[in-house]
Amino acid sequence: MQLGLSVSDSDVSSFTPLVVLELADDTKAEAITWLLNRIRDKQQNGGAELLVNQLLFPAQDDQKPNPNVFLVGSTLQRLLNGAEDVGLFKEFQDGTMRGFTYANRESFKDFNGDGEGVLSDAECQYIIKHELDTLRAKNEEHVPGYPKLKLYPGKSVVRRLQSKGVLIQYFPLHNKEDLKRLSFSWYKKFKLSFQPLDDIRHYFGEGLALYFGFLEYFTFALVPMALIGIPYYLFDWEDYDKYVLFAVFNLVWSTVFLEVWKRCSATLAYGWGTLSRKKAFEEPRAGFHGALGFNPVTGREEPVYPSSKRQLRIYLVSVPFVLLCLYLSFYVMMVYFDMEFWAINIYNENPDIATSILLFVPSIIYAVVIEIMNLLYRFAAEFLTDWENHRLESSFQNHLVLKVLVFNFVNCFASLFYIAFVMQDMVLLRQSLATLLITSQILNQVMEAFLPYWLQRRRNKKVHKRMRRLMGDKELPLLGQVQLETEMNTYLGTFDDYLEQFLLFGYVSLFSCVYPLAAVLVVLNNITEVYSDAFKMCHVFKRPFSEPATNIGVWQLAFETMSIIAVVTNCALIGLSPQMKAYFPESDTQLILIVVTIEHVLLAFKFILAFVIPDVPKHIQVNLAKLEFDSLEALKKRVILRIAFI
């Protein structure tokens, strides 16, 4: 059944389509009519006041196309008002970043004429997403046509439809011309230069731009360590005093690296207008469920789930499950050591080329098993965290990050700690670290770059073949684009990308004094990571909605925790060295006291350094203070005028 206006490439000029909204193909007609009316209705009537048209795909021989695909756009004035509603910051005429207001729109630097260029595509799509997400139920008791799909006054209609499977997906459309320019300047030419972070932010938003900024910063920060590590590896210096200096340099580097990154991210966030932006009120997750209750903050009826039940699920189910997985990880680790000893015994009995190659086989198998276990655990962790029924997305993400980080840390590094501090075999530690690092990087490149590229090429060929068969020589780029992007994989956020960098940071910082070449391998990996991630974002995944961000969030804490563990680990490795033991041949207690003292001194230095280096550069602090002062003065003037008027 056709509802509203159908749209094809010939009449799409009525508005610029920015977002695709896809409902289930068996959605009831009255529900579709009701939703479209709510989207089109005026704001004062509780609608989103957006433009929406139906996109009809031609009939296909092998399968019936989904008739419930819609294009969503907006008028410029509605977007400018929406920019004020979501709290976007733009550059003012005096060079400071200020909250955009429609009344003062002409006072902003990039506002020319009717203001068509003041908002980027990513910002326009973010505004539309915000308006759709905040489309709230009024007096409806249920979705028309679905008596069992209850609606709660004041709650998000879109999230409710999404949680029940009526709304399949909604995503922003790619802009072909902008994407072509970005691709050319970003990854299509190999060049040793900085990434176009402003262009990335303009197209994908601040959250993704900050990830690529961190990836670039991390890679450049590793270069000094890589340059120092190469001679250590090539000349195989055995003087452990030099390794002590390398370890101390590593500890200082890890602290300075993280503290300077805070300043870099603050500078980027200020220039992008997110540093002083207030955090929006967080709505419940789409998957959150519970009995109907009363929210004391909003004064609305909504599903409520007792915190005590959630805590019981966490401590009686999730925590034991995580501990069980950790036990399995340790068990697999012991199997790996049995394989390692078996290979060593064979080599000792018959040392030749074949048995020397066999020495690396257990580590390679173990590295592959680690990646498989990490993948399986990730699915289990997501299922458990969703089952815990967290109300807010931020709470869901924090619990998921904690589960995944704990398991990945133990699964990836437990064998290295065991070799270093139980077996005390530095030769095997160097070999295991090299094998784990190289194998994991190869697997990641295959899974993250080559496999998605191959699958996307197959998908593109199928879609283009299908469209040519249906339409012949007629050019319908919009239909083909929507058809292609609808079938693309959804980008699930930067979680896995930051997790990979976290583990690489661990390999570098924890055992650098044993395997100095680790930094070189990570630099090479990250260079290819930039290009593969850039390609995936442009051509493999659906375009994600922009996510305003001021920093890398909980991952900053994760990296700082890893750097503290690195202090303890490197000091312990130094204390276990034969050279250090030679200074204290008869007193292990004295050696332990010396190592613990050095460790505490380095930790103190680390915390002092973190305190001395400000997180936000001075000039940005001044600009933020000036903005706050101007806001207070403006508020005082409004109060005085109101009193005088009364």
What's the whole-number mean pLDDT along residues 604-633?
Answer: 81
Rounded to whole angstroms, the Cα distance separating 121 from 124 reads 5
pLDDT for 20 beyond 90: yes
Tell me: pLDDT of 502 over 50: yes
Query: What percent of the chain shows pLDDT beyond 90?
Result: 28
Q: What is the DSSP string of 498-544?
A: HHHHHHHHHHHHHSTTT-TTHHHHHHHHHHHHHHHHHHIIIIIBPPP
pLDDT tens digits, 26-35: 899 999 999 9
Tokens in use for 93? 């005429």
pLDDT for 239-293, tens place per residue? 555 566 777 778 778 878 888 899 999 999 988 888 877 666 666 776 777 776 7
For residues 65-74, average pLDDT = 88
pLDDT band for position 70 (50/70/90)?
A: very high
Spatial CA neighbour of 426 closest among 567, 578, 564:
578
- Whether the per-residue pLDDT at 217 is higher than 90: the answer is yes
| pLDDT at residue 351 tops 70 | yes
User: In the prediction, which pLDDT does 504 show?
Assistant: 93
With a cut of 90, say whether residue 222 has pLDDT above it.
yes
CA distance 327 to 317: 15
The string of pLDDT tens digits covering residues 191-214 is 666 889 999 999 999 999 999 999
Name all contacts of 499-505 with Cβ < 8 Å and 24+ positions apart.
Answer: 499/404, 499/405, 499/408, 500/444, 500/529, 501/214, 501/215, 501/218, 501/526, 502/405, 502/408, 502/555, 502/558, 502/559, 502/562, 503/408, 503/412, 503/440, 504/437, 505/218, 505/559, 505/562
Residue-averaged pLDDT of the chain: 83
pLDDT tens, residue by residue, 103-141: 888 888 878 777 777 888 889 999 999 899 888 888 888
Domain ranges of the chain: 19-173, 616-645
Here the tokens at position 332 are 């697999």
Residues 6 or more apart whose Cβ sits within 8 Å of residue 327:
none
193 compared with 607, residue with greater pLDDT: 607
Provide the pLDDT for residue 236.
61
pLDDT at 3: 39
Q: Which residues, in sequence order, are CB contacts of 364 under 8 Å at separation 6+?
A: 435, 439
Please say if the pLDDT value at position 92 is more than 90. no
Q: Is the pLDDT of residue 323 over 90?
A: yes
Residue 422 has pLDDT above 80, yes or no: yes
Which pLDDT does position 10 carry in this prediction?
39
Name the amino acid, one letter, at 76.
L
What integer pLDDT is reported at residue 190 of this predicted model?
A: 67
Nearest Cα to 470, choosing from 458, 459, 457, 483? 483
Residue % of the chain over a pLDDT of 70:
89
Global pTM reads 0.87
340-344 mean pLDDT: 88
Task: Give the β-pairing of 6-7 and 51-55.
Answer: parallel
Whether 225 and 526 have beta carbons less than 8 Å apart is answered as no
- Report the SS3 class of residue 56: coil
